[in-house]
Structure 1
Amino acid sequence: MAESAEAVAADVSSKRSVTIEITNVTNNYCMINPKAYLENGETYNPPQPTVRPLKTEVCTFTKSGGKATGCVGVVTYDLFERSQNDYIETLAIMFSVPWDYNLYKNWFAVGIYKKGRNCDKDLYKEMYYEKKEKEHGFVRAEANGSGINYVGNYLDIKATMCPMGRAIMKVEVWDKLFTPMGQQAY
């Protein structure tokens, strides 16, 4: 197992950063092809190329040195379904750790998008600003340590994030635990 988010975050000297711990709690999905878009900040510890089933990996993004900006962006992973031998959807993780806590707060979001969604400024803006979250395939919350849950068609995403300048975000990707009543096979 990779180092914990707490251990990795302890080595970061920047006053504004986010360390993301991603746990793949699925049996048949690999998370592949990570991409990152940073509105502000830089990559300190890049996302692991593959997060295999039942594994945990960590990545870190920090503010850019010498600038009064925070660490703000989005990371995506393609969700590769092994039995289909293809990726079927894209996981998106948005984070915002601002420089000025007098004006802003930490925010985070998780969601699942259709195959091929670009990791870019448009995705970041949608996940940060869009009011109709569920219609757009994600959930968002102010970071205060409480959890958010995104319920997808095949997978569920659970996430938490702290409100600190050196933020830690934890994301879990789960197989569907229950099928909706109308879709059960008898």
Structure 2
Amino acid sequence: MDRPLAFLLGYLVVEAAFHYTLAEMTVAAIVSAAASTVSAGSTLTGTTLSNLMKNDYRVNCGIEVENWTRFILAYPVVKIAAGALSIPPGNILPSKREAMVARKTSDSATGTSGTVSWLIEGQSRRIVVMWSAPYDFNFYSNWLGVGITSRGETFNAQGNSWFYQMYYGSNSRSLGFSRSEYYWESNPVIYQDDLIQLSATMSTGHQAQVKMTVRPINASDLATPIKAILKY
């Protein structure tokens, strides 16, 4: 039977305070299988996100993405609203972990902000991540948004329109998303459609680290190495 993975992950949070259910055991097995099979891709081989972010800039934002799905996350596109790109993103293969890094502009009291998106190969939609890491916490906070375009919306929006929509605006016909402020705490921001669930956190300092997991809604869409561990 095709079990709805995102439902089970949500069920774990709701039921955890009561008793250890079969659904929780299933989720625990999935999380354990992912932990033992998801490995570093080309950008993280022999290094970590923290190491990639080591430079002389006051403000950096590193984004690390784990792909638990059978889909390649391909054709990444970065749109910088403020700052500069230090390490560009690449394709994210199933059961791989990849990273990118953005930074502030040299000799300026500014932070970094923008969007990065990946095509969910074969599914005619894109994952979109919005970040904003300011220079001065007296006026601004770290913000993170995660979203998915509607089926058939495979092209990037012009200019920085996705950034402005995800930072200031609301869902539209072509893009749905959730966002969260990261000033005191680093609670997950979650968004899902009928295919994918995105769960991400962002740290609260000037060396902001974003960690995002891309999970399938249905267990049949898990990456093959994860399914092999689960004997699915």
Higher Rg:
2
- Which runs of 5 or more residues in structure 2 are unaligned? 1-39, 220-232
The structure 2 residue matched to 1:102, chosen from 92, 113, 138, is 138
Between Structure 1 and Structure 2, how many residues are aligned?
Answer: 170
Secondary structure of residue in 2 paired with 1:157:
strand
Q: CA deviation at 1:152?
A: 1.2
Does structure 2 conserve the Cα–Cα contact (< 8 Å) formed by 1:34 and 1:78? yes
Shift of 1:133: 4.1
Q: Does 1:155 align with 2:196?
A: yes
Paired residue for 2:87?
45
Q: CA deviation at 1:134?
A: 8.1
For each residue in 1:45-81, what CA deviation from the matched residue of structure 2 results, as whole angstroms up to 9, or x when unmatched?
Answer: 1101x10000000110000101111101110111103
Query: Matches of 1:160 and 1:139 in 2, distance apart?
Result: 12
Return the offset for 1:121: 1.0
Give the alignment's TM-score, normalised by structure 2.
Answer: 0.69
How far apart in 2 are the matches of 1:5 and 1:162? 13
Contact 2:69 2:94 in 1 (8 A): yes
Please tell me the root mean square deviation across aligned C-alpha atoms, in Å.
1.8
Partner Cα distance (2:178, 2:138) in 1 = 25
Higher helix share: 2
Return the offset for 1:117.
3.8
The TM-score with structure 1 as length reference comes to: 0.85
| Structure 1 counterpart of 2:129, one-letter code | I
* 1:164 equivalent in structure 2: 205
Structure 1 position 121 matched with structure 2 position 160: yes
Structure 1: give runs of 5+ residues left out of the alignment: 82-86, 179-186
Task: State the percentage of identical aligned residues.
Answer: 25
